[in-house]
Amino acid sequence: MLRQRFVLDTTALTDSLAWESEGCTSICQGMNAILDRVAEGRLHLGISCYIPYPSVYNEIKDFARHNNCDSAVLSKVDTWLVKKTPDRYKVKVPSKIFYEYVDYMRSRINKGMNISEEAIWESVTRCIALSEGGSSLREMKDEIEREVVGSIIRKFREKYRAALRYGILDSAPDIDVLLLAKELDAAVISQDLGIQRWAEQLGLRFMESRSFPIMIKEYMNALPEMYVEEKDEDRMI
């Protein structure tokens, strides 16, 4: 079997659909189960799983601690995941990628600006409508804060987050995952849409986090058949 390398994003261990496929009901139980799958892949299939150090490594550790996972999770992270810092000086990225990223970010920023303008206009319009009742500003203050400002801010945050966060690289760990995968010629495991988009731009193999433990399980299920076929071939020779 061809030995494979994978670079894991934090979501490879924390995505709920990934560990729910293992029959788990909590994040700590799920991380344990996925790391057990990684261990099986390492021992029986020669699969190597990497995480960028220290960026993604620290994210995973912090996530485990914030969710009160026991020390076994952190021990498995240190045992089965290879920690490596990407060579940020030697990894070559085509200049076209930078051009496309800047152009893509400009369009996202413009979209965010339009959403901001819409929120301002909506707040002004609703405040004018309230003022037509003839009440004083002091009397309208509580109603404006309750009925206008609060609801508009909530809606604005949702739209702004969708416009500027989904599908972009918004953190150093995201970039480290792509650089390390490029350096190792490895597949990227993530549930992040930004990482997926730019993995495709860089010509990297990509797999969703939820599919990764299922893939290892399928490989493991095929092992006995592979051994039987190899023995039959040896006998024929």
State pLDDT tens for residues 33-87.
999 999 999 999 999 999 999 999 999 999 999 999 999 999 999 999 999 999 9
pLDDT beyond 60 at 212: yes
Residue with tokens 């992040």: 192
| Burial of 212 (C-beta count, 10 Å sphere; 0-12/13-18/19+) | buried
Give the helix/strand (H/E) hosting 48: strand 48-52
- What CA–CA distance (Å, rounded) separates 198 from 87? 18
Helix axis angle for 71-80 and 55-66, nearest 10°, is: 160
Q: What percent of the chain has pLDDT over 90?
A: 53
Query: What is the spatial distance between Cα 178 and Cα 138, in angstroms, rounded to a whole number?
Result: 54
Mean pLDDT of 227-231: 49
Within 8 A by CB and 6+ apart from 199, the residues are: 178, 181, 188, 190, 205, 206
pLDDT at 158: 84
Return the DSSP state at 148.
I
- In tens, the pLDDT along 122-142 reads 887 877 776 776 666 566 666
Residue in 216, 221, 219, 174 with CA at minimum distance from that of residue 18: 216
* Cα 132 to Cα 143: distance, rounded to the nearest angstrom: 13
**pLDDT, position 231:** 47
Cα–Cα dist 77/36, whole Å: 10
Q: Among 3, 8, 1, 2, which residue's Cα sits nearest to residue 212? A: 8
Tens of pLDDT, residue by residue over 152-208, are: 888 888 888 777 766 778 789 999 999 999 999 999 999 998 899 999 999 999 999
Q: What is the pLDDT of residue 211?
A: 95
